[in-house]
Structure 1
Amino acid sequence: MLKKNSFLITVLMFISGLFLSCTRNLGYSVLLWSNPEHELFDGTLLKVHIKSNISQVYVVSIPGSKENFEIPLWQATEPESKGKALRQQKRFSEFEHTYASVKLDGLPIRSDAVNTSKQVYRLREGEIIRCLYKGEGAAVTNGKGNMKGEWLRVLTETGTYGWCFSHNLELFYSENYDVKSVKESAVKMNDLKGENKNGDNAIIESLVTKKWYPESFQNMIKVGRIDVNRMNPDYGFSFGINIDENADSVFAGTAVLNTENAAGSWTFTDIKKTAEKEYEFTGANLKMSIRGATSDTMILQYSEKGRPKVETLVALSEDIEELISNELMRRQDELKRIAQAGPVFKSSNYGTIKFNNENSVTWSNYKLLQPAIISNKALGSVTVTLDYFIANSLKSSYDGVLTMHFTGMEDGVNFLYKLTDTGLRLEDATHAPIKDGVVTSRSASPMILFFAK
């Protein structure tokens, strides 16, 4: 193996010599993850000779040494001048040899030190990450108050950088080159802690820290149809408990349920396990069943006016507000596409549709559509929206559903639409069946209108 590595280094050095002067190097890097093979601690300054994107390695040496060796690209900072590398080394010094074990499965690493920023990685429970430095970020709340912790710039063993809030991290100091051996001892230490801590409490803590939303949210995400009228970031279930990792957990609070079809709150003094994955809230008429291999499905049972009620919720890591924002942006882009294709569409029978902008239309001479489709009270000023989706079976014939909100009409008028090279085809969908925001099929004997550009 040593001969093979030496041969590879020799070949890489030879190839690089075709492009670089033998006296030049790429600069200096800081080692980010302790390397047991070469007995190097994180924070070591390295001189970088070659970068191989094919082998995903740097060929480096310790400054002042003539011995070259390989390290994975992810284990070191990008090569730069010696002065800049030394400043990087100083920046990492506060968290020198500091790693963390992940306490919560699915804990996100984010692009910025804000709990609503984009997720770049989801950590596994027990996974080890490198802590680089602290950052200023937005406070993280759990519905009752700010959680204890701080934002850390971290690195995974697969080379992903990002920001992670430390509340669910167990930091430890590694005085060993081999972090994996420290990882094993860290896991054993966590197991010992688990023996001293009520296992049921640990499970409940895990449930409390998750974000619970209506099951319909998960279904929308799976099929890629975000109904902004039904996906509300305020919907979901909150335990109303503030978990303090530095104290014994006290499971008392006021749980709140808020969905499209249900709402309620329950004050309780404890959460007790009654059977495997079955719990009841002491002092409240509320029970909870947990399902799924990763315990990401919750079934709540309660009573409302003497009648039993059941609500299914799921734990999601997605940023709901971001999903809604992206969907609204998609709709606006689609309306812009239609408007820019015209902006005027004419029909000898059904009048003229003029797009003033992506949301505003003036429709004139539509008398043949009155009163069957458009009310006699309607005026020609129209607001256009994309409120519904179409079933997959309709996608070969239509682009979607346009809803025309005429001034003077209480309800919008739905049309299946298709933008063609020559114009805009509309099909009356007034009586088309709609389920969960999706037009599932065409109306019986619909009227079809064509407007030329």
Structure 2
Amino acid sequence: MMHYNVKPGHISVKELVFFILVIFFTVLAVSCSPREGWGLVLWAAKDSRLTTGAVIPLYFKSNITRCWIAGVPGTNGKEEIDIWRVKQFSSKRKALQEAQAYDDYISIFAQAKRQGLVMREEPDNLSKQVYRFLENERCKVLKKVKGVEVRTGNQALEGDWYLVLAEDGTRGYIFSNQFTLIDISKSLDVSSTSQSPIPAPDFLQKVWRPSYFDSLASQSMYDLMMFQLTYGFFYYASESKIFINLPWLSKSYPAEQFYRNSDGSYRAEPSKLRFMLTADNKLMCIPPEQDVANIAKDFPFVERTAGEEIAFTFAVTSLDLQKLINSEKANRIARLKKFLANGTRFSSDV
């Protein structure tokens, strides 16, 4: 065993050479490591230099981090990629053949039309459930497959079975009847194809609460059904989505790209959710028409645009919502105790 006596602030020449050699041979071992195979990228991470559909060399698989060390095509660089994002092959030729077949599905995703739709272990409606989707959640389509016919009563449902990947890497099968197939390479309107996407507006980083919070609070009207910490307009950049939560609407909208419209408003794609800042620094949001079709024209707490579109407004509030809610709960308990102070039997003269 080798022993080193290192004095504070001093390293001997022998020790320095030793450490340099250790670092050199470690880097050399990684850079010269033999390939373990080739891979087809099924669904690249958003911030990755690897692209969906690319054929890549695979050097080392870690079962601890559940990642491959893979080569970045066109460079000498390497990058980690989740194991579930890659399909491994023994040769480059086989990987290229699979890539050619996958070419038709590179930009195809499936989006759940409602919450609770399931992914199954096999393309059979009686097969084991392996994943449950949220409304508007997307999965990556890998290919269309043959499966067992899906029936409701005596009627066969229209649709096809697809092999898909969920966002957490779960793999299984969905029936397309309750999913929307989206080609993200063609998801924009023809009128917007000449535009270039812009970065997410900075004001989305703020915490936006329903503007009626301040209005009701100024009148000391504290309806706990209307005041909830979960209500608001929330942008989750890491998940590329906007979540709107109100007493009458709770929905997640995919927001993978942002565009500026000619009227100064912003548009999130592919959900087509529109929003803008008003002159009084409120955030006005205009959901797709189908999401507000059941809201009555005289419904309170909503706004209308010049084109008679239903819109919701949000504001950055200074209210201490948790304190307000706790105070209102305490007041209600106090009033109830006072009401019950004279006993628990009540009678009416009628």
TM-score, normalised with respect to structure 1: 0.37
Q: TM-score, normalised by structure 2?
A: 0.47
Higher RCO (CA-CA < 8 Å; seq separation 6+): 2
Find the structure with the greater CA-based Rg.
1
